[in-house]
Chains A and B, each alone.
Chain A
Amino acid sequence: MDKKNNKFIDLIFVLIIISAVIVFVRYIIFFDFIIYNSESSIPETPKDQINETIKIGL
């Protein structure tokens, strides 16, 4: 059968891309997430720490 202008798949892909872009911006560009570290179970905002973490880790 022909596609008959099926927009449903396009819609799914557009929504996935929008969501993925938001996640990319948040986690890759702004490193905006919480680190649970080994010394304390209290979550810490990582923005200051993350660069340090990466430096140490990798």
Chain B
Amino acid sequence: MIIDTLGCEWGATTFLIFSSNVFGALVYYSHLFSLITALGLGIFVYAKNPRSLISELFLALTLVFSLWVFSDTVLWADANPSHIMFFWSLTILLEPVIYVLGLYFLAVYIKNDDISNRFKFLLISLLLPTILLVPTKLGILGFDYTNCDREVIEGLLVYYGYFVEVIISLSAVIYSIRSYQKVSKEKKKPLVFMSLGMVLFFFMFAWGNIVGSISEDWTLGQYGLFGMPILLAFFTYTIVRFKTFNIKLIGTQALVVVLWVTLSAILFVRKIEDVRVIVALTLILFLIVGILLVRSVKREVEQREHIEKLAGDLERANEKLKELDQLKSEFLSLATHQIRAPLTAIKGYSSMLLEGNFGVLPQKATDSIQTIMKSCQNLINIVADFLNISRIEQGRMVYEKSIFNLAELAKEVLNEIKPNIDKAGLILETKMPLEEIKVNADRGKIKQVVENIVDNAIKYTVHGGINVSVFADKETAKVTVKDSGVGIDPNEMNKLFNKFSRTKDASKISVTGTGLGLYIAKKMTEAHSGDIKVFSEGIGKGTTFTIELPITK
């Protein structure tokens, strides 16, 4: 202990902040508690989201605040005039920065985007006078050695700082209220919590500084520092409750850290009055954060239970659907088999009638029987489609593979289907290779696929023609069917190969389609390790289908 010329007693200082000059442990409690919690949370949030602007801003805010708190602690502990001059200047310099960063943080949080350059220019303009003038006599006039307080004589710049603090605090209130009216319903609550935390921090911090400066009773001003833990409490709750920054459970972790800090602080407190203050403050803080956290955890648990129940229901429904699907396939298979037999009989007898096996029929009867034959054939085709689907879905489709010339198969299909093309008044163009293009596949099934694609081209082409070409590259044999028909809307392209799916324009032109042909064709081609591709420039611009199969050498 040293006694100076004024008779003031001064203790030695360790690490600038620890000394017996600090007469109330509350000073350490309010300072170190705020410093550690702010810095800890700032670093934690930044480490979790290093690329996010909002977490970078939060880190900057907590860093500047912590530096301010450290400087202020030095002012309490250290008696060296030189140190006091420097750290007092730092507090004057950092105070408006805390406010500017706080407002910037709040604006980015509310907007969920960076602020405009105009706004940034305005904020930096507010800071510039302090940054430029702090080293001058406008910052600090000199060191007051007339009493034992060991304080500086503040210059006019300090009042400018208070002006900035008040302006920014009011701006934060106005900005928050205005934004509240504009944002969507689900964003209102997080906005209220974050704004309330920031505004409370702004006002408490400003109150502490202004009251301390004017009354020169800095002990009262200490309570202003608890604005930061309050902001952190709101901030943490917002993170947990509204999943800000996608950080979960941070609230519990932060609460545990705070508990360690506060308990450790009590160890260093000697006076029972100080212990009471610390315990009372900690209790209030824990009461608020604790209730909010318990509610949040409870809600989380309820949500999880609800989700688990839904998942169970979904699984059961899925099982049920699978069973139903199996039943449907079995029914379809059975029903179509049963239908096919009488259809074959109808077709057979109609054919015999037309061929005159039962005597010559009058012309009217012949026309009617032809209609019966045609309808019967359509029905047989549909039944065949259903049977194919149930076989594909049950995995019962049998493919009898053999090596054949794909070009030959295409020619065969075109020969069979040529009368239909002529009947529709379309022009057929073909381009066949001279050499053989061999594929190893089920000839019957691939024929069915080519027939289906060419048949579709005829159905959906009113004018113009159809171009069929067969060619091969190194590994793939291709059959391309290009028409000048109705084309396909790009938005409907993706559902073209779905079961029972028909495009709007297809339904207008051909009423007989079931929407199964392309689905079956695609499945059959895929079963041969091949594919069907489709291209259309849009409605009215024709369509090109390409059947691809692996080549066999």
Contacts and interface: CB of A to CB of B under 8 A. Distances in A.
Interface of A: 1-4, 6, 8-9, 11-13, 15-16, 18-20, 22-24, 26-28, 31, 33-38, 41, 43, 46, 50, 53-54, 56-58
Interface stretch (B46-54, B250-258, B293-301, B520-528): B46-54
Chain A residues touching B, majority SS: helix
A58 B10 contact: yes
Given A6-B53, A58-B2, 20 more contacts: A1-B53, A1-B108, A1-B114, A2-B51, A3-B53, A3-B56, A4-B114, A9-B60, A16-B97, A23-B89, A23-B139, A24-B86, A33-B142, A34-B141, A34-B142, A36-B142, A36-B144, A37-B146, A56-B5, A57-B79
17 contacts: A1-B114, A6-B53, A8-B124, A19-B135, A23-B89, A26-B135, A31-B82, A34-B141, A35-B142, A36-B144, A38-B145, A46-B81, A56-B5, A57-B10, A57-B80, A58-B12, A58-B80
Nearest to B54: A1
Interface string B362-398: 0000000000000000000000000000000000000
Contacts of B108: 1
Contacts of B12: 58
B100 interface: yes
Interface range, B side: 35 or more
B145 A1 contact: no
B145 A35 contact: yes
Given A13-B60, A16-B94, A54 B81 contact: yes
A53 B140 contact: no
Q: Which 8 A-B pairs rank lowest in CB-CB distance, beginning with the nearest?
A: A34-B142, A27-B85, A22-B135, A27-B86, A23-B89, A57-B4, A37-B145, A19-B131
Given A3-B56, A6-B114, A8-B120, A28 B94 contact: no
B79 A58 contact: yes
B131 A53 contact: no
